[in-house]
Amino acid sequence: MTVVELRDVTREHGRVHALKGVSLEVAAGELVAVMGPSGSGKSTLLNLAGGLDRPTSGSVTIEGVDLAGVKDLAALRRTRVGYVFQDLNLIPSLTAAENVMLPRELDGSRSRQARAQALAVLAEVGAEEVADRFPEELSGGQRQRVAIARALVGERRLLLADEPTGALDTATGDEILQLLRARCDDGAAVLLVTHEPRYAAWADRVVYLRDGLIAEASAVRLESAR
């Protein structure tokens, strides 16, 4: 089942053509990595796929909903899309559990229910023991686990990760990919932007962007690992 689909998407920033016509689908259970030199349009692609930005032309569909017809993108993002970034991940004045609860509370969940959901998803990512600690008390790997938990809390099945291993050593980076992979195997769709081949190699498919176009994609497709 396709979770996110981009069809002939272009994005112009003023006179700059950041994306020049990209089509891409990510299915449930699939991990797709996007690679490419800086300025190739990787982050633009991720922002469009997650409804953080609208395309100049072409369509973006998340779980069957064409974003062109959605007025309140923020509401759709809170319920369907999770984001993990390299930094600026967690709010320092909130504990790990409170950070994870935040999207649920913004969406109107009762505090007790939001906390129960947060603890459950923290346990899923192996971070239950740090639930009541503040971000500054956590290691880089633990922080990123909490950020992934926050991206997944609720029923969100689309996870967008922009260089989630950026500041981590390679062993911890591997753990984060292991975790993203496990989420995929449980049915999430993950779109991962990375410049590191070792992490892209965890994907089912690797897409190379060059100058706003997909240079090579399906050629790297392998049969599913599952």
Residues in contact with other proteins by CB under 8 A are 37, 178, 181, 196-198, 200-203, 206, 208, 215-216, 219-220, 222, 225
CB of 173 vs other proteins, minimal distance in Å: 12
CB of 201 vs other proteins, minimal distance in Å: 4
Q: By C-beta, is 40 or 43 nearer to other proteins? A: 40
Query: CB within 8 A of 5, min separation 6: which ones?
Result: 24, 25, 26, 59, 60, 61
DSSP SS3 for 55: coil
CB of 176 vs other proteins, minimal distance in Å: 14
CB of 95 vs other proteins, minimal distance in Å: 32
Q: By C-beta, is 106 or 182 nearer to other proteins? A: 182
Q: By C-beta, is 137 or 185 nearer to other proteins? A: 185
Q: By C-beta, is 85 or 208 nearer to other proteins? A: 208
- Tokens of residue 211, six digits: 């100058």
- Tokens of residue 130, six digits: 């740090």
CB of 212 vs other proteins, minimal distance in Å: 15
Give the β-pairing of 158-162 and 65-66. Answer: unpaired
- State the sign of the Cα–Cα–Cα–Cα dihedral 68, 71, 74, 79: negative
- State the sign of the Cα–Cα–Cα–Cα dihedral 159, 162, 167, 173: positive
Q: By C-beta, is 76 or 220 nearer to other proteins? A: 220
The amino acid present at 181, given as its one-letter code, is R
CB of 78 vs other proteins, minimal distance in Å: 32
Q: What is the DSSP secondary-structure string of 137-184?
A: GS-HHHHHHHHHHHHHSSS--EEEEESTTTTS-HHHHHHHHHHHHHHH
Q: How far apart are CA 143 and CA 135, in angstroms?
A: 6
Q: By C-beta, is 93 or 218 nearer to other proteins? A: 218
Per the CB < 8 A criterion, the answer to whether 192 and 199 are in contact is yes
